[in-house]
């Protein structure tokens, strides 16, 4: 029984959807279910595939693979004009040759509503449709305009409106058709901060008034946390975590989510036993269990979960020195150096710069995450003596015995076996830095190659996102295995 109800609640189901543009995979095997009436936000940095996913739901792009279901019906191949889904575009895309009224009425003039049935001679029943009357259109347009707070603006030329007003017209134009799902593609991106805050609340109000499912795309984590019932965090075309704002903030699934949402202290640690984690050479109690002994993990501590106490106090887990303190209106944001790591701490009690403090975190404030992956793995081809061809580059690596030129090999590259160079030409291959996360004593950097593969790299240097870098491998740390291929003959 419960199962049936649950199924009915789903309005959109996305199963294993992949979208590739040429060699680039924008959305990679995404599965996602969206409940009726929910306010769902697709959140991620630019280029993470969130807009592409939205465009596939709208019907502007067709998935390379996978299915999209709307209320249980497959709509993957249905053109956008046949879907009961409407979109609010990032740059409004209002029709400049029409008035505000004309813009909002555009869809209504095309709409056909059921108008009785007709018995055909062969006995079957044919559904009849009719256009909306002028009076009906006028009433609907006026209602939609009053919902967005532009009741008196119908006669205005859209080009004379301010950005915020144009955005409201775009919303009115979409909701007037009473869609089952409203898609919003960074609708507040072009507005100034004050306007944006106002519109966030307005959108939230419209969502509860209209009862339509909203799917909202943004790269602004604060916007996502404020407005959503559910947040879908995306990166590299894949879903990283789905959950309520609170869950995503308190229990990020991995280092990417923790770093992207809110401020956090991210550290590398080891689980030395259930409920015991070791980082920066201190063992601290936590609430997590079920890890292998000494499994290396990522540890997240939110700035507001660190308590600053007296250095000598018994419950001080670490000692540190305050190196900066900024008053932020309702709290102080302080940088504390302890055990070689720069902790960010938020507290209502400000401490003097230079003072020595003790740090204390309750088990509740510590969140343990599994490592996303332990090594980089690539498939390459042996290319002569001690050479491996992979990611369109010839790497000098030690080949195991029995591997001959042309054989397929699997190359395992630990994070610390990768060397990045400032000049792309100094590396065997080049790539773009897409992510850089500070983990306490080192940075974990993600580098995308031109062949659409990525290297995770542990490095003591800080690298800027979007920098071009060269990639070299430390030969002694890389292992190469032969891949046994089934012979075709």
Binding site for another protein (CB under 8 A): 58-60, 79-81, 85-87, 89-97, 106-107, 110-111, 152-153, 155-157, 159-160, 173-174, 177
Minimum Å gap between C-beta 467 and another protein is 27
Question: Minimal CA–CA distance to 11: which of 65, 73, 67?
Answer: 73
Q: How far is the CB of 200 from another protein (least distance, A)?
A: 22
Strands 181-185 and 85-88: parallel
Torsion over CA: 337, 341, 344, 345 (sign): negative
Contact yes or no for 254/298 (Cβ under 8 A)? yes
Q: How far is the CB of 71 from another protein (least distance, A)?
A: 18
* Residues 6+ positions from 346 with CB-CB distance below 8 Å: 263, 303, 304, 328, 331, 332, 333, 334
Q: By the 8 A CB rule, do 259 and 281 touch?
A: no
Beta strands 387-390; 375-382: pairing state: antiparallel
Q: Compute how many other C-beta atoms are within 10 angstroms of the C-beta atom of residue 28.
A: 17
Q: Phi, psi at residue 258, to the nearest 5°?
A: -60, -40
Smaller CB separation from another protein, 53 or 225: 53
CB of 77 to another protein, least distance (A): 15
- Tokens 């100094």 sit at which residue? 426
Least distance in angstroms from the C-beta of 436 to another protein: 32
C-beta of 89 vs 331, nearer to another protein: 89
User: Residue 106 or 389: which CB sits closer to another protein?
Assistant: 106
CB of 81 to another protein, least distance (A): 5
Select 89 or 389, whichever has its Cβ closest to another protein: 89
Q: Which is nearer to another protein, 172 or 206 (CB)?
A: 172
Residue with tokens 């879907």: 83
CB closer to another protein out of 93 and 210: 93
Q: What share of the chain is helix, strand, coil (3-state, %, to 5)?
A: 25, 40, 35
398 class by beta-carbon count within 10 Å (0-12 exposed, 13-18 middle, 19+ buried): exposed
Look-up of token digits 């995503």 = 248
Looking at the Cβ atoms of 161 and 411, the one nearer to another protein is: 161
Smallest distance, Å, CB 84 to another protein?
10
Residue placing its CB nearer to another protein in the complex, 87 or 435:
87
Closer residue to another protein, CB minimum distance, 179 or 365: 179
d(CA 310, CA 356): 8
Judged by beta carbon, residue 58 or residue 409, the one nearer another protein is 58
Distance in angstroms (rounded) separating the CA atoms of residues 241 and 254: 8
Residue with Cβ nearer another protein (55 or 367): 55
Sheet containing 238-243: which strands, arranged edge to edge? Answer: 85-88, 181-185, 213-218, 39-43, 230-235, 238-243
- Nearer to another protein (CB atom), residue 47 or residue 243: 47
Q: How far is the CB of 87 from another protein (least distance, A)?
A: 5
DSSP state of 199: H
Q: Which two tokens stand for residue 184?
A: 């919003």
Q: Shortest distance, CB of residue 286 to another protein, whole angstroms? A: 48
CB of 282 to another protein, least distance (A): 53
End-to-end CA distance of the chain: 54
* Residue 378: CB minimum distance to another protein, A: 32
Token pair of 61, please? 């792009």
Rounded distance between C-alpha atoms, residue 339 and residue 42, angstroms: 37
Helix (H, G, I), strand (E, B) or coil at 244: coil
DSSP 99: B
In the complex, the smallest distance separating the C-beta of residue 376 from another protein, rounded to whole angstroms, is 34
Give the shortest CB-95-to-another protein separation in angstroms.
6
Task: Give Cα 184 to chain centroid, integer Å.
Answer: 15
Q: CA dihedral in degrees (375, 379, 381, 385; nearest 10)?
A: 10
| Axis-axis angle for helices 134-147, 100-110 (nearest 10) | 130
Q: For residue 381, what are its two tokens?
A: 């081809």
Task: Using the minimum distance from each CB to another protein, give the nearer residue, 80 or 189.
Answer: 80
């Amino acid at each position: 029984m419960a199962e049936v109800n649950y199924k009915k609640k789903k309005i959109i189901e996305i199963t294993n959807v992949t979208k590739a543009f040429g060699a680039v995979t924008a959305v990679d095997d995404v599965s996602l279910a969206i409940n009726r009436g929910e306010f769902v936000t697709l959140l991620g940095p630019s280029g993470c595939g969130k807009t592409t996913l939205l465009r596939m739901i709208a019907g502007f792009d067709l998935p390379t693979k996978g299915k999209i279901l709307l209320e249980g019906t497959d709509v993957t191949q249905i053109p956008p004009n046949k879907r009961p889904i409407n979109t609010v575009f990032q740059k409004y895309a209002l029709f400049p040759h029409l008035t505000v009224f004309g813009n909002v009425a555009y869809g209504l003039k095309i709409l056909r509503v059921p108008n009785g049935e007709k018995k055909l001679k062969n006995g079957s029943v044919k559904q009849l449709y009719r256009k909306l009357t002028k009076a009906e259109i006028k009433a609907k347009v006026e209602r939609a305009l009053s919902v967005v707070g532009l009741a008196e603006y119908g006669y205005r030329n859209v080009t004379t409106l301010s950005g915020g007003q144009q955005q409201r017209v775009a919303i009115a134009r979409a909701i007037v058709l009473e869609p089952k799902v409203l898609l919003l593609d960074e609708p507040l991106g072009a507005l100034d901060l004050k306007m944006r805050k106002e519109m966030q609340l307005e959108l939230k109000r419209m969502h509860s008034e209209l009862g339509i499912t909203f799917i909202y795309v943004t790269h602004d984590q604060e916007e996502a946390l404020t407005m959503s019932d559910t947040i879908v965090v995306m990166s590299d075309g894949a879903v990283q975590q789905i959950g309520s704002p609170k869950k995503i903030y308190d229990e990020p699934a991995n280092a990417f989510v923790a770093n992207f949402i809110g401020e956090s202290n991210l550290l590398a640690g080891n689980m030395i036993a259930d409920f015991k984690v070791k980082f920066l050479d201190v063992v601290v109690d936590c609430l997590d269990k079920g890890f292998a002994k000494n499994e290396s993990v990522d540890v997240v501590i939110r700035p507001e979960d660190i308590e600053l106490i007296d250095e000598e106090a018994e419950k001080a887990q670490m000692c540190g020195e305050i190196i900066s303190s900024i008053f932020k209106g309702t709290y102080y944001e302080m940088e504390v150096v302890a055990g070689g790591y720069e902790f960010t701490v938020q507290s209502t009690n400000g401490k003097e710069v230079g003072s020595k403090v003790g740090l204390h975190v309750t088990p509740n404030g510590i969140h343990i995450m599994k490592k996303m992956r332990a090594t980089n793995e690539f498939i390459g081809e042996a290319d002569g003596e001690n050479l491996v061809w992979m990611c369109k580059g010839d790497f000098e690596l030690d080949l195991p015995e029995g591997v001959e030129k042309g054989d397929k090999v699997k190359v395992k590259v630990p994070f610390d076996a990768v060397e990045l160079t400032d000049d792309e030409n100094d590396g065997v291959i080049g790539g773009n830095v897409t992510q850089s996360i500070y983990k306490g004593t080192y940075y974990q950097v993600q580098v995308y190659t031109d062949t659409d593969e990525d290297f995770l790299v542990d490095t003591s240097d800080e690298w800027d996102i979007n920098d071009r870098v060269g990639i070299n491998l430390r030969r002694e740390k890389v292992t190469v295995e032969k891949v046994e291929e089934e012979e075709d003959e």
